């Protein structure tokens, strides 16, 4: 599945289908969930097509055929020029080699941080760090420190013309059937603290060890820095004007995990 969210920027989504919430987890449904609906945890990739093209992340191996098919359908006979792997984790890098076999001339791009690139076939990649850019002659992508991350070798990215931020695992959340490839302002179910906790309390359970006031201050800094950006997370839905409100909610998410430890079952 894919959707053109800006002219030349395509959102490619793989959804991990779940059965009805109460049936699977034997607990009261949360405030954002409608009874009888399937719950999906999405894996997202984003394809930028200008004079040159760039794919950010690869989906999971389950969608290996799908990601190649979707990229090929969008590009047609045009080449894939860059493949950016945000970090070596299954939903983000799981199809790296499959994509490079389909487009062997593509430049593999990986985070500069860390010293274990060779373990993940990334030793020959073009390595980028905060402040580095790639000019696609129509889009300019800029790389940022991954402030909140689940792997030491990790990078965030933005596109400067459209002002789109790709914060990888940060700001992920589940959605229900019928909400796939919809922006947050196009769905009826609310984005709540419990919905955000469902994802971050499992993936970023290390919030239980952080200095909470300092994390709150960093969330405020990111909210100011990217205040005018739309947001395209790797495990949620694309946001427009909801970003400041959701960032404020993330403080309470951090509080909950800091107080209670690992949360979330999806």
* CA separation for the pair 31, 20 (Å, rounded): 15
Residues of the chain with pLDDT under 70: 17-27, 264-266
55 in a structural domain: yes
- Residue identified by tokens 């009874």 is 35
Q: Which two tokens stand for residue 121?
A: 């076939």
Q: How many whole angstroms from its chain centre is CA 2?
A: 15
Q: What is residue 18's predicted lDDT score, i.e. its pLDDT?
A: 63
Residue burial 158-182, b: 16+ Cβ < 10 Å; e: rest: bbeebebbbbbbbbbbbbbeebbbe
61 in a structural domain: yes
52 in a structural domain: yes
Q: Is 16 exposed, middle or buried (0-12, 13-18, 19+ CB in 10 A)?
A: middle
264 in a structural domain: no
Q: What is residue 93's predicted lDDT score, i.e. its pLDDT?
A: 94
Residue burial 79-107, b: 16+ Cβ < 10 Å; e: rest: ebbbbbbbbbbebbbbbbeebbeebeebb
**What CATH number is given to the structural domain containing 114?**
3.60.15.10
∠ at Cα 261 (242, 45), nearest 5°?
Answer: 45
196 in a structural domain: no
224 in a structural domain: no
* CA separation for the pair 82, 47 (Å, rounded): 10
What phi and psi, each to the nearest 5 degrees, are found at residue 234?
A: -80, -20
Q: What is residue 1's predicted lDDT score, i.e. its pLDDT?
A: 87
43 in a structural domain: yes
Q: How many whole angstroms from its chain centre is CA 194?
A: 19
* CA separation for the pair 129, 141 (Å, rounded): 12
pLDDT single digits (tens) 193-219: 999 999 999 999 999 999 999 999 999
Q: What is residue 264's predicted lDDT score, i.e. its pLDDT?
A: 64
Q: What is residue 33's predicted lDDT score, i.e. its pLDDT?
A: 86
pLDDT single digits (tens) 48-85: 999 999 999 999 999 889 999 999 999 999 999 999 99
187 in a structural domain: no
Q: How many domains does the chain have?
A: 1
**Domain of 145, in residue numbers:** 2-181+229-240
């Amino acid at each position: 599945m894919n959707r053109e969210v800006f002219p030349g920027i395509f959102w490619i989504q793989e959804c991990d289908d779940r059965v009805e919430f109460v049936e699977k987890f034997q607990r009261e449904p949360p405030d954002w969930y409608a009874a009888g609906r399937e719950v999906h945890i999405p894996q997202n990739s984003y394809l930028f097509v200008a004079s040159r093209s760039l794919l950010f992340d690869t989906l999971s191996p389950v969608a290996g055929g799908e990601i190649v098919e979707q990229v090929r359908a969008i590009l047609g006979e045009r080449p894939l020029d860059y493949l950016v792997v945000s970090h070596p984790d299954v939903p983000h890098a799981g199809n790296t080699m499959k994509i490079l076999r389909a487009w062997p001339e593509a430049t593999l791009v990986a985070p500069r941080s860390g010293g274990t690139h060779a373990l993940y076939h990334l030793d020959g990649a073009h390595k980028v760090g905060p402040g580095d850019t790639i000019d696609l002659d129509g889009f300019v992508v800029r790389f940022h420190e991954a402030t909140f991350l689940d792997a030491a070798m990790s990078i965030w990215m933005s596109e400067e013309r459209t002002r789109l931020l790709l914060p990888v695992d940060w700001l992920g959340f589940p959605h229900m059937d019928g909400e796939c490839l919809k922006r947050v302002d196009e769905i009826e179910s609310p984005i709540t603290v419990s919905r955000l906790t469902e994802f971050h309390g499992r993936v970023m359970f290390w919030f239980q060890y952080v200095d909470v006031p300092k994390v709150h201050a960093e969330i405020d800094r990111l909210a100011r820095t990217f205040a005018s950006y739309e947001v395209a997370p790797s495990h949620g839905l694309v946001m427009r004007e909801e970003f400041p409100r959701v960032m404020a909610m993330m403080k309470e998410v951090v509080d909950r995990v800091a107080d209670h430890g690992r949360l979330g079952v999806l």
